[in-house]
Amino acid sequence: MSEKMKEILYLEVPTPDTAAVRSWLQADFTPENGEKLLTPEGFRLKIPAETTTVASTVSEEVAELSVFIWSVQRTTYLKVFRWTEKPYPQERQILQHLTTEIRRRFPHQYPEPPAIDLSQQSIFAALGPDYPLTVKYFQKMPNGEYDLQRAYWWEQRWREGVRNPQQPRQVVFSHSGKKAGGEKSSTLREAPTYDLIYIGGALGAIHAAVMAKLGYKVLLVERLPFGRMNREWNISRDELQSLVNLGLVTPAELETVIAREYKDGFNKFFDGNNPAKLRSPILHTPTVLNIALDSDQWLQMCGQKLRAAGGEIWDETEFIRADIDDTQVLVKVKHLPSQVEQEISGRLLVDAMGTASPIAWQLNGGRAFDSVCPTVGAVIEKGFAPGVWDSQYGDVLYSHGDISRGRQLIWELFPGEDEELTIYLFHYHEVNPENPGSLLEMYEDFFTILPEYRRCDMDELVWKKPTFGYIPGHFSMGSSDRTVAFDRLIAIGDAASLQSPLVFTGFGSLVRNLERLTKLLDTALKHNLLRFSHLNQIRAYQSNVAVTWLFSKGMMVPTGKFIPPQRINSMLNTFFGLLADEPPEVADNFIKDKCDWFTFNHLALKAARKNPALLLWIWELAGAKDLVRWLANYFNFGRYALFSALLDKWFPRFLRWINPWLEPRYPALWLRLLVINYAISTGKPRPKNQSAKVNPETIMQKSEARIVN
C-alpha cells in the first residue's frame, strides 16, 4: 500500500461525550460499501479481499479509508483519511452519508442552567449535577458560593433579556410636562439632591470620580459590595495617561495600582489544520494590554477620590426604576441587606450597569446588542509548576484548537503581582434567542480544558477569585443608530456597547474615550443640555471601529450552523500574519482602535491577495444583509476620513478662537461642534513615541456657576 495519506474529511462533532460518538461509529453507523474493521478510536473501511483479483498487484492500489475521532476542548472531532491516491469506490457518497448521519445523531445542543430555588438548597448542590467541575473549583475560592450565585444570576438575566427583547421590563418612565411621581412625590418639588446619579460601580466609579473632581455632586449606586470586580483590567501605559491628563490620579498614585508590567504579549491561533500558506508566526504586541491593574485597589482609589470630592457611594443597593420629568430624575433604589426602598433625585442619571442593564434593554428594544463575548476565567494566586509560564509575558489572543461546539474559544493570560496569573476564556457570539450564550457552560469548559492550554495540576492551583461577564457589541450603522440616552439619562461603558472589535472590553474603550465623554458631559451639564437630542450625541462612536465589526462577525459561528472546524483559525491567521509582517505600530494602532483609512485598505487588500477565499468565507458567515450593512459602514468610514483630512488642520483652532463668544450664546451649537471635533480626531494614530499630553485646566475648566433649574 502507498505510504501517502490524504485527509478527505474533517468534522466537529458538537458533544463532549466522545465515548458515545465512538460507540455510534462502531456499532450503529453502516457504510454503504466496504468491510468495516474496528479500531480503538473508530474503524477502517476496505474492499473485501474476495472482490479483488488474487495475487494481483492492482489490489495493492485499492483505497482504504480510516475513520477516527479524538477529544480536545471538551469537544469531539472526526477525520477520514484515504491511504492511497486512488479514490475509494463511492467515496463521495460514503462521506456525505457519514456527515448526514452524524449530524442527525449529534446535532448542536445549547444546554440551559436548571431553575433553582436557593431557599431549598445551596447553589453548589443545585448546580453540581450539571456543572460538577464548576462547583468543585468555585468551592475552593474565597466567596465562591456568592460568586457562583452571581454568575448564575447574570446568565439568567442575560437570557431573559435576549429572549424577550420586544417586551423589555420597563424601568424608565417619562412624565414630560408634569412632576415625576405625581402629587404624591414631594421630593421633586425641591431642587435635586445630586447633579449625577451613577448606577453601576465598576466603570461607573471611574467616570463618577472624574466628574466629582470637577465639582459636581455625585452619588454612585452599586448592587455589589463596592470594590468587588468580576473582571481584572489590563491596559497599556499610553492609554492610562488619560487618567493623569484629566487630573483623576497623579503618576505616583497610578504606579501603586499597577500589579505588573510585562515585556511582551503574544497573539497566536491554532494552525495545525491550516494549509501552509495560512499559517502565521506569533504576532508580538509588547504595548498592548501589558499593564495589569489591581482592580480592587484601583476601584478603592476611585472610591476614595469620589468621596474626597464630596461624592457618596451606596453599595449593596439595587436600582428599581427611574421617573423623569422636565426638571429632574427620581430614582428608586433598594438597600439589599435591609430591603429598605428609597427615592433620590438628580439632574442626570448615568447607566453604567453593563450588559445586564434593564435600561439599555428598554432603550434599544429588539436591537440592544448584535453580539456578545461570554467570558469566564479566574485569578490564580499560584500553583503552576516552574517553567510553565514566564510572568514577563502575556497572551493577548490565543487559541489551542478549532471550533468547539459551535464556538471558536480564545484564551487570554495576563501576569499579575508575584505569581498571580489572570486567565480568561471567551468566544465571539451572535446574540440568538435559542442560544444566548452560557457562562456556566463556558466555566465547565474552562475548568476542563485549562490543562490543555497551560500544563497544570488543577488541584494544586490556588484560586483567588473568578472573573466573568457578558461583554456586548453593537454593529453600528452610523454615529446615532444606537440609543444611548433619554431625557436626563445617558449610558456609558458596556451598557452603551462601548467596546473594541478585538479585545472586546469596555474598560479600555472607556479609558481611551474618557476625555471625550467627560468634556461633552461637562458641557451639557453646565448649560443644562439634558434632553435626549443633546445627550444622545455624547457617545464614543468611531467610524474606524464601526467598520471593523465585520472582523468580529467573522469569528462567530451562526447558531445551528456547521462550518469547517479550522475556518475561523484560518481567517485569524490570515489577518494576524499580515499584522506580523507590518511595522509594530500598525498592530498596536489597530488593536487600540487607531487604524486609519489608508492602513485599513492596505491590510484588506493584502489579506484578499494572500487568501482570496477570505471574502467568500466572510460572505458565508455574515450573509448578504450584513455585508450590505458593512458597505454602508465602509463608505461612512471614508466620509469621516475625508472630513478629518479637510478639517483637521484648522477646525480645532477655529473652535478655540470662537469658544468665548459662541458657547455662552449658543451652547447647543457649541456642544454639537465639540461632538464633530471629537468625531474627526478620536482614533487617529499618533506618530511613534508620541504620547497625548493634555492640559486638564484647558480642556476641563470648572464652571463657577452651575446652571440648575
Sign of the torsion angle spanned by Cα atoms 13, 19, 24, 25: positive
> Which residue type occupies 610?
K
| Contact in structure between 564 and 617 (CB atoms under 8 Å) | no
Domain boundary, last residue among 471, 502, 536: 471
| pLDDT at position 490 over 70 | yes
**CATH number for position 86:** 3.30.310.50
Q: Tell me what the mean pLDDT of segment 72-90 comes to.
A: 92
| Contact in structure between 579 and 283 (CB atoms under 8 Å) | yes
Helix ranges (H only) for 429-538 are 439-453, 506-512, 514-526, 532-535
| Contact in structure between 213 and 365 (CB atoms under 8 Å) | no
CA separation for the pair 123, 138 (Å, rounded) = 10
Question: Do 318 and 219 lie in a common domain?
Answer: yes
What is the 3 state secondary structure string of 616-655? HHHHHHHHHHHHHHHHHHHHHHHHHHHHHHHHCCCHHHHH
| Structural domain boundaries enclosing 85 | 6-105
Asked whether residue 27 is domain-assigned, the answer is yes
* Reported confidence tier of residue 431, pLDDT bands at 50, 70, 90: confident
Lowest mean pLDDT among 137-141, 189-193, 648-652: 189-193
Sign of the torsion angle spanned by Cα atoms 80, 86, 89, 90: positive
- Residue 693: all three cell numbers together: 499630553
CA separation for the pair 407, 442 (Å, rounded) = 10
| pLDDT at position 31 over 50 | yes
Asked whether residue 56 is domain-assigned, the answer is yes
What is the 3 state secondary structure string of 143-175? CHHHHHHHHHHHHHHHHHHHHCCCCCCCCEEEC
- Residue 676: all three cell numbers together: 464633530
Question: Do 597 and 464 lie in a common domain?
Answer: no
Asked whether residue 323 is domain-assigned, the answer is yes
Specify the pLDDT at position 492: 86
Question: Do 645 and 694 lie in a common domain?
Answer: yes
Lowest mean pLDDT among 59-73, 106-120, 121-135, 281-295: 59-73
Specify the pLDDT at position 397: 93
CA separation for the pair 500, 381 (Å, rounded) = 29
Higher-pLDDT residue of 21, 689: 21
Three-state secondary-structure class, residue 595: coil
Q: Which are the contacts of 124, defined by CB distance < 8 A and separation ≥ 6?
A: 135, 138, 139, 145, 148
Higher-pLDDT residue of 701, 149: 149
Q: Can you count the helices (H) and strands (E) in the chain?
A: 23, 25
* Distances, alpha carbon 127 to alpha carbons 150, 154, 379, 499, 629, in Å: 13, 15, 22, 32, 41
Question: Do 140 and 47 lie in a common domain?
Answer: no
User: In this predicted model, what pLDDT tens digit does every residue of 232-288 receive, in sequence order?
Assistant: 788 889 888 889 998 999 999 999 999 999 999 999 999 999 998 889 999 999 998
* Reported confidence tier of residue 399, pLDDT bands at 50, 70, 90: very high
Question: Do 490 and 628 lie in a common domain?
Answer: yes
Average pLDDT taken over every residue of the chain: 86
| Contact in structure between 377 and 468 (CB atoms under 8 Å) | yes
Asked whether residue 465 is domain-assigned, the answer is yes
290: exposed, middle or buried (Cβ count in 10 Å: 0-12, 13-18, 19+): buried
Strand order in the sheet with 64-72: 6-13, 75-82, 64-72, 42-46, 35-39
Question: Do 389 and 525 lie in a common domain?
Answer: no
DSSP string, 253-287: HHHHTEEEE-SEEEEE---TTS-GGG--PPEE-TT
* Reported confidence tier of residue 208, pLDDT bands at 50, 70, 90: very high
Domain boundary, last residue among 471, 492, 511: 471
| pLDDT at position 590 over 50 | yes
Higher-pLDDT residue of 170, 384: 384
Specify the pLDDT at position 704: 31
| pLDDT at position 16 over 90 | yes
| pLDDT at position 56 over 90 | no
703: exposed, middle or buried (Cβ count in 10 Å: 0-12, 13-18, 19+): middle
Domain boundary, last residue among 70, 105, 140: 105
CA-closest candidate to residue 66, choices 52, 49, 90, 83: 83
Question: Do 588 and 620 lie in a common domain?
Answer: yes
DSSP string, 19-88: HHHHHIIIII---SSSEEEEETTEEEEE--GGGS-TT-GGGGG--EEEEEEEEETTEEEEEEEESSSSPP
* Distances, alpha carbon 351 to alpha carbons 55, 363, 381, 709, in Å: 81, 11, 33, 22
CA separation for the pair 106, 17 (Å, rounded) = 10
| Contact in structure between 453 and 377 (CB atoms under 8 Å) | no
Question: Do 449 and 478 lie in a common domain?
Answer: no
Question: Do 503 and 616 lie in a common domain?
Answer: yes
Sign of the torsion angle spanned by Cα atoms 637, 638, 643, 646: positive
* Reported confidence tier of residue 71, pLDDT bands at 50, 70, 90: very high
Specify the pLDDT at position 282: 95
| Contact in structure between 621 and 549 (CB atoms under 8 Å) | no
Helix-, strand-, coil-residue percentages of the chain, each rounded to 5? 40, 20, 40
Asked whether residue 265 is domain-assigned, the answer is no
- Residue 138: all three cell numbers together: 468555585
* Reported confidence tier of residue 368, pLDDT bands at 50, 70, 90: low
**CATH number for position 364:** 3.50.50.60
Asked whether residue 303 is domain-assigned, the answer is yes
Regarding beta strands 218-221 and 194-199, do their DSSP bridges make them parallel or antiparallel, or are they unpaired?
Answer: parallel
Specify the pLDDT at position 619: 83
* Distances, alpha carbon 134 to alpha carbons 125, 579, 587, in Å: 12, 37, 36
Partners of 706 in the β-ladder: none
Question: Do 512 and 660 lie in a common domain?
Answer: yes
Question: Do 325 and 338 lie in a common domain?
Answer: yes
| pLDDT at position 5 over 60 | yes
- Residue 232: all three cell numbers together: 481584572
* Reported confidence tier of residue 701, pLDDT bands at 50, 70, 90: very low
The total domain count for the chain is 3
Beta strands in 361-405 (DSSP E): 371-382, 393-398
CA separation for the pair 225, 32 (Å, rounded) = 63
Specify the pLDDT at position 693: 41
Specify the pLDDT at position 689: 45
* Reported confidence tier of residue 708, pLDDT bands at 50, 70, 90: very low
User: In this predicted model, what pLDDT tens digit does every residue of 655-682 receive, in sequence order?
Assistant: 999 999 999 999 999 999 999 998 888 7
Question: Do 189 and 144 lie in a common domain?
Answer: no
| pLDDT at position 639 over 80 | yes
CA separation for the pair 170, 365 (Å, rounded) = 10
Regarding beta strands 291-293 and 6-13, do their DSSP bridges make them parallel or antiparallel, or are they unpaired?
Answer: unpaired
